[in-house]
Amino acid sequence: MGKTVLVMLAVMAACAVRAEVKIPRSAAEDTDKVMSEKYWSYWNDEVQKKIDADIEANRKADADVILDGAPEGTEVNVEQISHDFVFGAHIFNFDQLGDTTLNNMYKNQFGTLFNSATVAFYWNKFEMSSGRPRYAGEYWDSQHFWNNCPNPEEQLHWRRPPTDPVIDYLKDRGVRVHGHVLIWGSRFNSIPAWLFDKCLEGAEREKFLNDIMQSPIKFGAKCFPEKYKPLFDELEVSDLDKMFPKFADNLKREFALRIKGIAEYYKDRVDSWDVVNESAPDSVGNNMNVGGKLMKSRRYKLMPADYTYEGFKVAQSAFPRSVKLNINDSPYSCIQAYADQIKNLLKRGCKIDIVGIQMHIFSPASISAIASGKDPMNDSELAAFKQIDPQHVWKMFQIVDTGLPVHMSEITITAPDETPRGGMVQAIIARNVYRLWFSLKPVMGITWWNTVDGCGYVGEPVLSGLFTRSMQPKPAYYALNSLINGEWKTNLKVKVGKGGKVKFRGFKGKYVLSWKDSGGNVRRKYAYVK
């Protein structure tokens, strides 16, 4: 892709309205074939006008500032220097890109494009050995190791850097820190295998391994081989409590110890936490609060009963009050269940400060279908269509309205392919949904997930980044940067009124006001618009 074409694509990525999208013939793409008429029927002029009006109403505020000693009529430069709104990304590839220059380019996005970073605390990689959490870095976490590693994606700690160096870096740059995640199920990328062996004692260990399941050490994420599934399905929770009382007590204890240990170590240095991740499907029909010690999780098999409630109760007693506690899920398939779960937890006294909502469109085929206007061919494509349909998003926010702020906590929008048009498709979709979320009053932040192509978890799309693997910015980067550091930052000039008063309306955040006094000296005053 030539530089001229890339610049044109960057400009186009900043356009929200179809009529503004112009692709030069040299790009070998016809203007009308970037996005279909059907796509733009979702994002029509009326939708765009509503979004603009809601941004004006929900993201801006009026400011009255008194400038002592500034005569009436003095010209004042008003410059926004920070956002109240959270624009984040995860920082899982800290020092892991294989080249110092690329690492620096990656890290420099935090404090420029992003004012918030999600730090990895996945239990199975954070504490690979019992009692040895990876707070501090070792040689295998250094740039030297990763710069000389021929197969980084195959390393156990790929995308899982030690937490202290990352948090120290973010704090030095004034970037908000979000921890992900304290409690997440008992499969996938979450609970360490050693936990099962540690929590099983005596006869319970033998029965568990022989009759119920085989060791996760052998089977990894596949906790329950098919031959054990019928027996497990037949068992009632009361049966499991009788069979594994020590296991249940030990598991609950270890969950609590993990939360307390991290809280004691970091106190308020981490601004917010995902306390429990993706538990809404387990809460259907109050299935979690089963009255026993264990529960049969829909996704994770065996878990401590009421584990989401228990996790929040421990967290709110362990962390300082100033630390925000989040619940996090992908509710597009269980919207009502998620809303009901949150309301139930609040009623029972849980401190939930922020509701996390994920939106992942992993499938290039789904993105391609969205762009081309094809009717959904399967449930995956239908789900993707709903996630970018403004009408559906507005409806979803009505259902999930709990009175709490909402963090769009994990956002994945892949490109359909590596062509110039593919990059534009990703950019246009990203720009439109960011504008929509930014306009919604409950939303307090948006966090993009994988910012670099080819750096996602197994099964995540290769082309979902804002940058190529060599840290070249893609059209989606320019689209978001033009919003975050352009359209959504207030910079203007105003005149001082009577009594040194300055009035203006701007996006919420921190400002510096500067002017020259009668002697020609530059004066400054900081103000916060909220």
68: in domain: yes
343: in domain: no
Q: How far is CA 83 from CA 87, 196, 270, 485, 509, in A?
A: 8, 44, 19, 10, 4
Task: Indicate if 388 and 454 belong to the same structural domain.
Answer: yes
Helices 379-387 and 364-372 meet at what angle, rounded to 10?
60
> What pLDDT is recorded for position 28?
37
> What pLDDT is recorded for position 33?
72
Report d(CA 159, CA 134) in Å as an integer. Answer: 13
Report d(CA 416, CA 464) in Å as an integer. Answer: 9
- Dig out the tokens for 165 from the structure: 């160096």
440: in domain: yes
Structural domain boundaries enclosing 401? 1-34+354-485
Whether the ω angle into residue 314 lies within 30 degrees of 0, i.e. cis, is no
> What pLDDT is recorded for position 109?
98
Closest alpha carbon to 280 in 223, 342, 326: 342
Task: Indicate if 471 and 374 belong to the same structural domain.
Answer: yes
298: in domain: no
Task: Indicate if 408 and 465 belong to the same structural domain.
Answer: yes
What is the tally of structural domains in the chain?
A: 2
**pLDDT tens, position by position, for the chain (530 residues)?**
333 333 344 444 444 333 333 333 333 344 457 999 999 999 999 999 999 999 999 999 999 999 999 999 999 999 999 999 999 999 999 999 999 999 999 999 999 999 999 999 999 999 999 999 999 999 999 999 999 999 999 999 999 999 999 999 999 999 999 999 999 986 655 888 888 889 989 999 888 877 766 544 333 344 444 555 677 778 888 999 999 999 999 999 999 999 999 999 999 999 999 999 999 999 998 889 888 999 988 888 789 999 999 999 999 999 999 999 999 999 877 899 999 999 999 999 999 999 999 999 999 999 999 999 988 888 888 889 999 999 999 999 999 999 999 999 999 999 999 999 999 999 999 999 999 999 999 999 999 999 999 999 988 999 999 999 999 999 999 999 999 999 999 999 999 999 999 999 999 999 999 999 999 999 999 999 99
Task: Indicate if 426 and 506 belong to the same structural domain.
Answer: no
Task: Indicate if 380 and 400 belong to the same structural domain.
Answer: yes
What is residue 114's DSSP assignment?
A: B
Task: Indicate if 452 and 498 belong to the same structural domain.
Answer: no
Q: How far is CA 56 from CA 48, 455, 483, in A?
A: 12, 36, 14
Radius of gyration of the chain (CA): 25
Non-local (6+) Cβ contacts of 420 within 8 A are: 1, 5, 9, 27, 28, 29
Non-local (6+) Cβ contacts of 451 within 8 A are: 89, 90, 93, 106, 109, 465, 466, 467
145: in domain: no
Quote the distance between the C-alpha of residue 383 and its chain's center.
Answer: 19
Report d(CA 487, CA 192) in Å as an integer. Answer: 44
> What pLDDT is recorded for position 279?
95
Q: What is the pTM of this model?
A: 0.93
Task: Indicate if 381 and 468 belong to the same structural domain.
Answer: yes
> What pLDDT is recorded for position 32?
55
Of all helices (H) and strands (E), which one includes residue 119? Answer: strand 116-120
Residue burial 284-310, b: 16+ Cβ < 10 Å; e: rest: eeebbebebbbbbbeebbbbbbbbbbb
CB distance 501 to 66 below 8 Å: yes
Task: Indicate if 362 and 473 belong to the same structural domain.
Answer: yes
Classify burial at 459, counting beta carbons within 10 Å of its beta carbon; exposed 0-12, middle 13-18, buried 19 or more.
exposed
Report d(CA 210, CA 79) in Å as an integer. Answer: 67
Coil vs helix vs strand at 285: helix
Classify burial at 450, counting beta carbons within 10 Å of its beta carbon; exposed 0-12, middle 13-18, buried 19 or more.
buried
340: in domain: no
Tokens 């989401």, located at residue: 308
Of all helices (H) and strands (E), which one includes residue 368? Answer: helix 364-372
Non-local (6+) Cβ contacts of 305 within 8 A are: 237, 248, 288, 289, 290, 291, 292, 293, 294, 295
Task: Indicate if 3 and 75 belong to the same structural domain.
Answer: no
Task: Indicate if 476 and 503 belong to the same structural domain.
Answer: no
418: in domain: yes
> What pLDDT is recorded for position 187?
60
Residue burial 472-498, b: 16+ Cβ < 10 Å; e: rest: ebbbbbbbbbbbbeeebbbeeebebbe
Tokens 């240990």, located at residue: 261
Closest alpha carbon to 293 in 253, 251, 248, 255: 248
522: in domain: yes
* CATH number of 71's domain: 2.60.40.10
> What pLDDT is recorded for position 298?
81
Task: Indicate if 407 and 384 belong to the same structural domain.
Answer: yes
Helices 379-387 and 390-399 meet at what angle, rounded to 10?
80
Report d(CA 432, CA 390) in Å as an integer. Answer: 9
The length of the chain, given as a count of residues: 530
Tokens 């790929």, located at residue: 158
Paired residues of 528 in beta bridges: 510
Task: Indicate if 464 and 418 belong to the same structural domain.
Answer: yes
